[in-house]
Chain A
Amino acid sequence: MAKGVKARVKVPKTVDAGEIVTLKTLISHKMESGLRKDKDGNKIPQSIINRFTCAFNGNTVIDVKMAAAISTNPYFAFDAVVPEAGEFHFTWYDDDGSIYEEKKSVKIA
Chain B
Amino acid sequence: MELTRRDTMAIGGAAALTAILPSLSSAAIPVNELIMGVTGGVDAASKGISLTAPEIAENGNTVPISIDAPGAVAITVMAAGNPRPAVATFNFGGGSASQSATTRIRLAGTQDVVAVAEMADGSFATAHQTVKVTIGGCGG
In the complex, the answer to whether B105 meets A71 with C-beta atoms within 8 Å is: yes
Chain A residues whose C-beta falls within 8 Å of the C-beta of B104 in the assembled complex? 70-71, 74-75
B79 to chain A: closest residue by CB = A69
In the complex, the answer to whether B103 meets A20 with C-beta atoms within 8 Å is: no
In the complex, the answer to whether A77 meets B95 with C-beta atoms within 8 Å is: no
- Please tell me which stretch of B14-22, B84-92, B119-127 contacts chain A, meaning at least 4 of its Cβ atoms lie within 8 angstroms of it: B84-92
In the complex, the answer to whether B138 meets A79 with C-beta atoms within 8 Å is: no
Tell me the count of chain A residues lying within 8 A, CB to CB, of chain B.
31
A59, CB-defined interface residue at 8 Å: yes
Q: For the complex, give the distance between the alpha carbons of A8 and B74 in Å.
A: 25
Interface string of B113-140 (1 = CB under 8 A from A): 0000000000000000000000001111
A1, CB-defined interface residue at 8 Å: no
A101 → chain B closest CB, angstroms: 17
Q: For the complex, give the distance between the alpha carbons of A35 and B84 in Å.
A: 10
Chain B residues whose C-beta falls within 8 Å of the C-beta of A59 in the assembled complex? 93-95
In the complex, the answer to whether B84 meets A79 with C-beta atoms within 8 Å is: no
B96, CB-defined interface residue at 8 Å: yes
Q: For the complex, give the distance between the alpha carbons of A36 and B104 in Å.
A: 19
A72, CB-defined interface residue at 8 Å: yes
Of A55, A71, A72, A77, which contacts B101 at CB under 8 A?
A: A77
Give residues in A with beta carbon < 8 Å to B.
20-21, 33, 35-37, 54-56, 59-72, 74-81
Give residues in B with beta carbon < 8 Å to A.
61-63, 79, 82-98, 100-107, 137-140
Beyond contacts A33-B106, A63-B90: 5 other A-B pairs, Cβ-Cβ < 8 A, are A35-B140, A67-B87, A69-B106, A76-B102, A76-B103
Report 24 cross-chain contacts, Cβ distance below 8 Å, ordered by A residue: A20-B98, A35-B140, A37-B139, A54-B95, A56-B95, A61-B92, A61-B93, A62-B96, A63-B92, A64-B89, A64-B101, A64-B103, A67-B84, A67-B86, A69-B84, A69-B85, A69-B107, A70-B104, A71-B103, A72-B62, A79-B100, A80-B95, A80-B96, A81-B97
Identify the 5 closest CB pairs spanning chains A and B, nearest first: A60-B93, A36-B139, A61-B95, A79-B97, A67-B86
